[in-house]
Amino acid sequence: MPPQITVFFKRIGSGIAGFTAGQKTLAVLGAALLVVGIVALSAWMTKPALTPLFSGLKDTDASGIVEQLRTDNVPYELTDGGSTIMVPEEKVYEERLKAAAAGLPTAAATGYSLLDNLGVTSSEFQQSVTYKRALEGELAATIGAMDGVQTAAVRLAIPERTVFVSTTPDTTASVFLETAPGTTLSADKVQAIVHLTSAAIENLKPTDVSVVDSQGNVLSTVGGGAAGSSSQQAEDYQQRTGDAVRAVLDRVLGPGNSTVAVAADVTGESAQQKSETFSNTPDTPPLSESTSTESYTGTGGGAAGVLGPDNIAVPGDTSGNGTFTSEDNTRNNAVNKVTEDRVIPPGEVRRQTVSVAVNQTAAAGLNVDSLTALVNSAAGLNADRGDVVTVEMVPFSTAAADAANASLDAAKAEAEAQRQASLMSTLMLAGGALLAIVILGIIIAIMRRRRQLREPVDLGERLDLALLPGAPAIDPAPMTAAIAMSAVPSPDPAALGMPAGGGPALGMEAALSERRRGEVDSLVAANPEQAADYLRSLMSDRQSV
C-alpha cells in the first residue's frame, strides 16, 4: 500500500481515537445509515425494468418457459398466480422468439385449422364432427376477444338431417364464459354474444342460445332470452321498480329518509301461440259470381207414390202435368286472412306489492295521499291485477347512521395515523441522512483543525536528533558552533570583492550541510525504522504557511 494511503488511515484512526464515547456512537450510527442508504439506492438504480413476457399461461406452459429462462440466466418474476411471467424489457423479444422456436406456449389446434388434418380416408362422421369442432373453436376465439371475457367455450347441438323424419329439431347452442376478475358482463354484452352465436350457425335462433358464466349464473336461457331465469327476472324487476320509487322519494324527502321494498310475482312459463283470423269487407265486390237456373214443364210426370212394405214405392196416379224449376248461385268473395305466431317469454308480472316507509321527521307537513300517488305512478301499479301499495310515516332509528358515522370517524383516524406514521418515517430517514452528513462534517472539521494546530516543519531546518528515541549520543558543541555560524549573516560578496554565488560563505554552508548529512546517516545506521517514521511524519505534516 502506498505510504500516502497508510498515513491517511493512520490519521483517521488517531482522529477517531480522540473522540468521546458519544461522538464514537454518533459516528458509527452515521456510517451505518450512510452504508444502508448507499446499498438501497444502488439496488433501486440497478434493478431492471420488467415487462410481461407472456400472460394467461397454463401451468405446463409456464413451467417450460421458466426452465428456458433459467437456462438463459434471465431474471424473471411470476405474477397473477403464476400465469404471467415478467422479464427485463431488453430480453422480451429475444425470449419470445426462443419460446416460439421451442413450441411454447403450446396451443391446441382449434377452429378451421382442424380441417387441415383431414385425409381422403376420413369418414362422413369424422368430417361432420370435425366441422362442428371447427365452428365451436372459431366462435370461442371470437367471443374470447371481447372486453371482459377471459376464456370462452361453445358447444353446438346440430341435429342430423335425414329424409326419414318430417320435422327436424331446432339447433341449439350453449356458451360458457369465464370473465376477468372483478368484471361483470352487462345485459348488452350478453345479448351481443347471443346474436353473434346465432348468426354464425345455420338455423340457430337467438332464443335457442344459452349463456352461463364461471360462477354458475345463467345469463341467457333457451326460450327465455338474455333475461335469465324467472327468479332473476323477478329480482331485476324488483330492483328497477325500487330504484324508480326511491329516486322520486329522495328528491322529495332527501336521501336516506325513505325505505322501499318491492315484491313481484313473475311467471316462469313460456309459450308459443299461433292463430289465424279471417275477415270480410262488405263494400268489397266479389271476385267471381255465377248463377245456374234449371226449369222443366210437361206431361208424363205422375204424382209421387207411397212407400209400401219393405220400403218399396207403390205407384200412384200417373196422369197429370208436371213442372220443375232449380236455381244455383255461386259467389267468390275476397277474404282477409291474418296468421299470427306469438312467442310468450317468461317474466310477465302477475301481481306486485310496494311497501314504503317514510321518516316521520322528514315528512312533517307532507300529504300521505300525494306520496301514495307518486309511488303508484313510479312503480306502474295496476289495480286490475291486484297490485297494492302501502305508505307509512314512522320514526326512523339512528343506530345505523351513528354506526356509520363512527366507522367513518374511525377510518379517518386510521388514515390520519397512517399519514402521521408515514410522515414520521420520512422525517426519520431524512434526519438519519442529515445526521450522517453532520457527523461526517464534524469528523472532517476535527481532522482539519488538528492538522492546522500542528506547526509546519521545514526539512531544511535543524533536526534535533538527540530527542529521537534510540539516537546515538552526539556532541552538541560542534552543532552549536555550526548553528552559531549559520546564524551570523553572510557578508555581501560584492562588498568583499568576491564574485556573486561563491566565496567562504558557500564553503561554510557546504560544510554545515555535509555535517548534517553525516549526522542523519549515523542516525539512520543506528535505528533506520524510527528515522523513517520520523521523516514520514515530517513529510505528511508539512503544510504551506
pLDDT band at 539 (very low <50, low <70, confident <90, very high): low
Residue 544 pLDDT > 50: no
How far apart (Å, rounded) are the C-alpha atoms in residues 221 and 206? 10
Tens of pLDDT, residue by residue over 362-371, are: 888 788 888 8
State mean pLDDT over 75-90.
87
**CA-CA distances (angstroms) from residue 350 to 242, 268, 342, 384?**
17, 11, 19, 10
Asked which of 325-339, 389-403, 481-495 is least confident by mean pLDDT, the reply is: 481-495
User: What DSSP string runs through 438-478?
Assistant: HHHHHHHHHHHHHHHHSPP--TTS---GGGSTTPPP--HHH
DSSP per residue, 263-331: EEEE----EEEEEEEEEE-TTSPPSEEEEEEEEEEEE-PPPP-EE-GGG-EEP----SEEEEEEEEEEE
Of 40-44, 167-171, 216-220, 327-331, the least confident: 40-44
| C-alpha span between 420 and 135 (Å, rounded) | 61
Task: Report residue 153's pLDDT band, with 50, 70 and 90 as the boundaries.
Answer: very high
Residue type, 341: D
pLDDT exceeds cutoff 60 at 478:
no
Residue (of 193, 217, 213, 212) closest to 204 by Cα position: 193
Q: Which residues of 117-135 are buried (b: 16+ CB within 10 A; e: fewer)?
A: eeeeeeeeeeeeebebbbb
Q: Which of 142-156, 338-352, 475-489 has the lowest mean pLDDT?
A: 475-489
Residue 463 has a pLDDT of 46
Q: Which three cell numbers stand for residue 426?
A: 420520512
* pLDDT tens digits, 306-329: 555 666 655 555 555 667 788 888
pLDDT in tens, 516-529: 777 777 777 777 77
CA distance readout (Å), 453 to 18, 23, 134, 447, 461: 15, 21, 94, 10, 19
**Residues 378, 248 contacting (CB under 8 angstroms):** yes
Q: What is the pLDDT of residue 543?
A: 46
Band of residue 476 on the pLDDT scale cut at 50, 70, 90: very low
Q: How many Å apart are CA 387 and CA 370, to the nearest integer?
A: 18
The verdict on pTM exceeding 0.75 is no
* Helix axes of 368-379 and 230-253: crossing angle, nearest 10 degrees: 140
Helix (H, G, I), strand (E, B) or coil at 430: helix
CB atoms within 10 A of CB 226: 21
Cis amide linkage into residue 105, ω under 30° from 0: yes
**pLDDT per residue as tens digits for the range 334-356:** 788 888 888 776 677 888 999 99
**pLDDT for position 506:** 53
Return the DSSP state at 368: H
Provide the 10 A C-beta neighbour count for residue 3.
11
Residues ≥6 apart with Cβ < 8 Å to 530: 468, 469, 470
3-state secondary structure of 356: strand
Q: Per mean pLDDT, which of 297-306, 372-381, 481-490 is the most reliable?
A: 372-381
Contacts for 129 with CB less than 8 Å, ≥ 6 apart:
none
Q: Using pLDDT thresholds of 50, 70 and 90, give the confidence band for residue 226.
A: low
Most confident option among 52-66, 147-161, 322-336: 147-161
- Residue 278 corresponds to which cell in the numbers above? 279471417
Mean pLDDT, rounded, for 106-121: 72
Tell whether the model's pLDDT for residue 487 goes beyond 60: no
Rounded to whole angstroms, the Cα distance separating 85 from 55 reads 7
Residue indicated by cell numbers 333457451: 222
The three three-digit cell numbers of residue 425, written as one number: 418515517
pLDDT tops 70 at residue 28: yes
Rounded-to-integer distance, Cα 363 and Cα 254, Å: 10
Rounded CA gap, 139 and 196, in Å?
Answer: 8
| Model pLDDT for residues 461-475, shown as the tens digit of each residue | 444 444 444 444 444
Question: What is the average pLDDT value for the chain, to the nearest integer?
Answer: 77
Q: Is the pLDDT at 92 greater than 80, yes or no?
A: yes
Question: What residues pair up with 78 in beta bridges, in sequence order?
Answer: 85
pLDDT in tens, 6-24: 776 777 777 777 677 777 7
Strands 349-359 and 388-394: parallel
Q: How far is CA 217 from CA 23, 126, 138, 179, 265, in A?
A: 71, 34, 24, 12, 21
CA separation, residue 221 to residues 184, 185, 188, 239 (Å): 18, 15, 15, 20
